[in-house]
Amino acid sequence: MYDSAEELAAGAAQRIADLLADSEGPFSIGLAGGSTPSATYAALRGRATGWNRVDAWLSDERWVPPDHERSNGRMAAEILMDHIDARFHRPRWSDFMEPADSAAHYEATLRSIHGDRRPDLILLGMGEDAHTASLFPESRALEETTRWFVDNSIPGTSEDRLTATYPLLWRAHRLMVLTAGESKAPALRDALEGSRKPIGRIDDGDAGVEWHVDKAAASLLS
């Protein structure tokens, strides 16, 4: 636990840098969207080395053009990936493409990157509704059992997203959940108490799970 969101970003960045430094050979990292991950990426730029061994990709993306202000890929590129020599893989997008086709192509890319290897690290955020990646409560992607990456319509909205699924998240060596702010406290408490909402299910697989939270997010924990 960290005293502030700023300390969380610095601490998470150092943890990622240490994991990369301790690894040998190719390293795969799934990147998350959101304000806490973005602050982590900013802190990471000056800390980590060995980026030429890294394949970076997105744990989820909004179905928007790649230069759209709400694109997770654009955020990650501008803050981190454009400044290092890692390979950054982003989903395809065009006006003439369906989200399902983009997700299928991206899944093929991820399977090609990993082969028989497991992802080394996947970063995740958490919403106030306990969603993680773009696995939202009551969305159909929650029931996926074989696909690694799918399109997902968000219930109650007209928004389409692309998301990693539990089969991919559970396959990782390590998941890092980055959560800051008092508004996340109920969802964090429920997840750590065994809630079956989306974020609460990340412990169901073989991945090791690390929770990086600030005092505000942890304010309801006993």
- Cα atoms in the Cβ-side hemisphere of radius 13 Å centred on 109: 21
* pLDDT, tens digit (0-9, with 9 covering 90-100), for 129-140: 999 999 999 999
Please give the Cα distance from 15 to 21 (Å, whole number): 10
Assign a CATH topology to domain 5-17+26-213.
Rossmann fold (3.40.50)
Q: ∠ CA 179-64-178 to the nearest 5 degrees?
A: 10
Query: Where do the domains of the chain lie?
Result: 5-17+26-213
- The continuous run of DSSP H or E covering 31 comes out as strand 27-31
Q: Are strands 27-31 and 149-153 parallel, antiparallel or unpaired?
A: unpaired
Q: What is the pLDDT confidence band of residue 46, given thresholds at 50, 70 and 90? A: confident
pLDDT at 222 over 90: no
Could you give the CA distance from residue 106 to residue 144 in angstroms, rounded to a whole number? 16
Q: Is the pLDDT of residue 160 over 90?
A: yes
What is the reported pLDDT for 162? 98
The 10 Å Cβ neighbour count of residue 16 is 20
DSSP labels, 51-113: GGGEEEEESEEESS-TTSTT-HHHHHHHHTGGGS-SEE------TT--HHHHHHHHHHHHHHH
Cα 104 to the center of its chain, rounded Å:
18
pLDDT in tens, 118-127: 999 999 999 9
Tens-digit pLDDT profile for residues 20-42: 999 999 999 999 999 999 999 99
